[in-house]
Structure 1
Amino acid sequence: MTTKSDSLSAAEIASAVTGRELSALEVIEAALARIERHDPILNAFTDVTADRARAKARAIDTAIAAGNSVGPLAGVPFAAKNLFDVQGLPTRAGSKINRDLAPSSRDATLVERMEAAGAVLVGALNMGEYAYDFTGENLHDGPSRNPHDPTRMTGGSSGGSGGAVGGGLVPIALGSDTNGSIRVPSSFCGIFGLKPTYGRLSRARSFPFVASLDHLGPFARTVSDLALAYDAMQGPDPDDAACTTLPAEPVTPSLARDVGYLRVAIAGGYFQNNVFPEAVEAVARVAKALGATRTVEIPEAARARAAAYVITTTEGASLHLDRLRQRAGDFDPAVRDRLLAGAMIPAPLVDRAQKFRRWYRARVLELFKTVDVILAPATPCVAPKLGQVNFVLDGVEMPVRANIGIHTQPISLIGLPVVAVPVPLEPMPIGVQIIAAPWREDIALRVAHALERIGVVAAPQPRGL
């Protein structure tokens, strides 16, 4: 049975709840019913916080009845990747080991800020173990499944977040992105995702992976909803040493501003290699709609990806050394082996990677003196089949897991803001990265909104449910 709120965006839900056309409790009951009906297929949720959600919804309805303001996300259901602390739940971070942790005593900062804006947490979401994953296939909780074809991957490591939003279970979800873990599920599941500038959104009380690369951000089915969530979560946080920036102006009111004056370029060279025809088609459609004909070369992108691998695996290994020593058998072997390899990388190589990173950042920032936005594929292909080990491109067999993030890693290495936008190709959607200069999430979101208005990008209805 469907209800009125099932097809509404977050903005529409908040308007209906504030206007007393719907109660927050009605909205939450409908979301819980959708989860119960569809999550056995999608396997997006690891925990459903039904009692908490109902209590929060009742409090919102009481506040509205008393004439009090409850925030711009009034009654909107959302869920968070299970590396976010949620009061009363152990922060499992996709692992078997973390289930032995004591329940969290406080929510993550971003969960607190979403609820302060009126949103209602309905659960925690499946993810790749310790966020070291591009597939969405979790050994302990089972794979999250693609809402357009449940035989395919959601992408990872925020696979449950992608599946929950792409499948319409919740209008907004929170995830993390170290090397592409917001942009990859956005691409495979046909939704919008924001990887903000490094340091823009607080990571406090979330389980880390690579401190110098970790970002947190939202997923949504519309750009307006993405901006609403982003605006709700902005602001410095003394609990995250990287999150010291001043609050930016809210993006939501400016989404409709003209973008015709912006200088848009297409990433060439490396970003046009190792891509399937559908990725080429997606970038071409977006470029045509924006009138972009100029191509720019992002210098040494292949080396940037290599540096990202070195930094990721060494920092990740350092974080998990005690667990590797004490409970190696409780890791997913694929994750364990990569972490063990990282522990053996010589220090001089790590130093070289970090020096290159600084050089590379300076060279890429030079590009933004003459362009405002750069377009690139989000993934080289549409979602592969669950369990697929290799794909063949131009006659060459390539490992799936290692190459899904080929176009995202060179961007997150230097913390640039990116909005991943879904191009609704048949039979499966695929994403394009809209890359902006540091702290210019507003520009990337406005470009995404302009593309959405003319129908070039859109979140398709789930076809696998």
Structure 2
Amino acid sequence: MAHEMRGMTSLALVRAIAAGEISAREACLASVARIRASNPAINAFTRCCTARALREAEAIDARRARGERLPPLAGLPYAVKDLFDVAGEVTHAGSKLNRQHRPAAQDAFLVARIQAGGAVLLGRLNMDEYAYGFTTENTHYGATRNPHDLTRSAGGSSGGCGAAVAAGQVGMALGSDTNGSIRVPASFCGIWGLKPTFGRLSRRGSYPFVHSIDHLGPMADSVESLALAYDVLQAPDPLDPGCHALRVQPVGSALQQGIEGLRVGLLGGYFDEHATASARAAVRSAAQVLGANDQLAWPDAALGRAAAFIISASEGGSLHLQDLRTQVQEFEPLSVDRFIAGALLPAAWYLRAQRFRQSYRDQVNALFRHWDLLLAPATPVAAPVLGSEWLDINGTSMPTRASIGLLTQPISLAGCPVVAAPIWPTGTGGLPIAVQIIAAPWREDLALRAAWALQAAGCAHLKPVEI
């Protein structure tokens, strides 16, 4: 049965379970077997919760046996980045320091939502410590490796999510994105990712990195699964003051409405200058399908990235200040200097960056008076070799860990929703580079419609891997 399910998309699996062709228990055990076979090579999972998964799967089978109508994700195996609370388990957030914390009393809000939607939780996924990184080279739990080339990075900080979906361990994962942490692994691993509008989904029960920029969202093996997961995750949460979702806006049923009439533009300037030829080729492929010909500039992109850096460093450093003072030797060596530097930033810099952010959002939102969607590469390059200290971007040598987010950070600061669509351009040695499909705040539906059009045209898709 496990062999028969290999290559089956998560959407096809959910439909097969609903039709009684496969039991949820069989699907769960097939995923467990896939994890056991492939995880030693890619190191995506840091902990499996097989007993819970089997209970959840058997509950789905019992509901089907009773003739009940099944929820939309019934039986779908999924996993979560290790910053989501899972009842009875310690939330590590990629850190050694958090191992001493008490187990979570209840599931994170989004974990509870996805369970109510019928999905089956297989475990927790690797990440950069405290989500501060773009490569998931975690000294405490080991580096996550790219399933398409085990010498290369899976991206970060949701690298375990990207690798697990790309390797077929699970069909969907929950990740987080502050400066690109969903879109970068989606780009490097060749899967679909959604960073919703800032404040669209509740963050209650997730370990924070930068409270004023953190987003949570799904990553999946198809656009349909991405949209189904997003619809299940949507819900107002009065206990999360940062959640502004006053009403649910279902998108799954609108995917196939097409792109006719949508005004799609190409981001040039900064986004051309900081993209390699392969990244630009990926965007051209998507633009051809979506009928995008006109190029425009994103306002103050470099300043937006600088402001995101200042806010991230300052809030991240402040959050961990006490541990930095008393247990600095326990921090991730690859990020501890950035945390210390952030804790030492003058308050005036942080306040100035936040003031700039307000006017910056106004400038960005003004673009959507004339455009419905904007396209840009998600990463300047395809996945670098693990341990790389420098990237070559159009003849300029740039530090790897900071520069991977060159093209995602300006978008995050504005809070716009983005779908990362996996493209396979030439010149990358067979590796993917995603295209960001950017929409106005609260218009995830438009970005997902365009993503579906790219998938339907065969322009954006996954590639199976053998591990």
Q: What is the RMSD computed on CA atoms of the aligned residues?
A: 1.1
- 1:243 Cα offset (Å): 1.1
- Whether the 8 Å CA contact 1:424–1:460 is kept in 2: the answer is no
Query: Does residue 436 of the first structure (1) align with residue 443 of the second (2)?
Result: no
Letter in 2 for 1:17: I
Q: Is the 8 A contact 2:139 2:333 kept in 1?
A: no
Report the 3-state secondary structure (helix = DSSP H, G, I; strand = E; otherwise coil) of the residue aligned with 1:3. Answer: helix
- The 8 Å contact of residues 48 and 122 in structure 1, kept in 2 or not, is answered as yes
Matched ranges for 1:51-90 at <5 A: 51-90=51-90
Describe the SS at the equivalent of 1:333: coil
1:213 counterpart = 2:213 = yes
Q: Please identify runs of 4+ aligned residues in structure 1 that moved more than 3 A.
A: none
Q: Tell me the residue number matched to 2:463.
A: 460
Return the alpha-carbon distance in structure 2 between the equivalents of residues 402 and 387 of structure 1.
13
Q: Tell me which moved more, 352-361 or 78-87.
A: 352-361
Question: Normalising by the residue count of structure 2, what TM-score does the alignment of the two structures yield?
Answer: 0.98
1:123 paired residue number? 123
Name the counterpart of 1:278.
Answer: 278
C-alpha deviation, 1:392, in angstroms: 2.1
Tell me, yes or no, if structure 1 residue 156 matches structure 2 residue 143. no
CA distance in 2, matches of 1:86, 1:70: 23
Task: Write out per-residue CA displacement over residues 409-459 of structure 1, whole angstroms, 9 at most, x where no aligned residue.
Answer: 000012110000000235101101000000000000000000100001111
Task: Give the residue type in structure 2 aligned to 1:247.
Answer: R
Contact 1:313–1:342 (8 Å) recurs in 2 = yes
Partners of 2:372 and 2:10 in 1: CA distance: 29
**CA distance in structure 1 between the partners assigned to 2:177 and 2:257 by the alignment:** 28
Cα deviations by residue, 1:71-90 (Å, 9 ceiling, x for unpaired): 01110000000000011210
Q: Bigger shift: 453-462 or 124-133?
A: 453-462
Offset of 1:378 from its aligned partner?
A: 0.1
- Tell whether the 8 Å contact from 1:131 to 1:209 is kept in structure 2 after alignment: yes
2:352 aligns to what? 352
Query: Larger deviation: 336-345 or 90-99?
Result: 336-345
Consecutive unaligned residues in structure 1, runs of 5 or more: none
Q: CA offsets, 1:206-257, max 9 Å, x none?
A: 0000000000001111100000100110011122111132233311111000
Aligned-partner SS, 1:47: strand
Measured in 2, the distance between the counterparts of 1:8 and 1:393 equals 37
Identify unmatched segments of 5+ residues in structure 2: none
How many residues are aligned here?
464
Deviation at 1:334, TM superposition (A): 2.7
Match of 1:200 in 2: 200
Q: Offset at 1:326?
A: 1.9
Instruction: Give 2:455's aligned amino acid.
Output: E
- Assess, with a 3 A threshold, how the Cα gap between structure 1 residues 260 and 134 changes in structure 2: closer, same or farther: same
* Identical residues among aligned pairs (%): 52
**Aligned match of 1:448 in 441, 448, 451?**
451
Q: Name the CA distance, whole Å, in 1 between partners of 2:200 and 2:392.
A: 38
Match of 2:139 in 1: 139
Is the Cα–Cα contact under 8 Å of residues 80 and 173 in structure 1 kept in the other structure? yes
TM-score (norm 1): 0.98
Deviation at 1:35, TM superposition (A): 0.2
Give me the whole-angstrom Cα distance separating, in 2, the residues matched to 1:294 and 1:398.
29
Q: Distance in 2 between matches of 1:171 and 1:95?
A: 26
Matched, 1:102 2:99: no
Deviation at 1:393, TM superposition (A): 2.8
Does residue 231 of structure 2 align to residue 231 of structure 1?
A: yes
SS in 2 for 1:341: helix
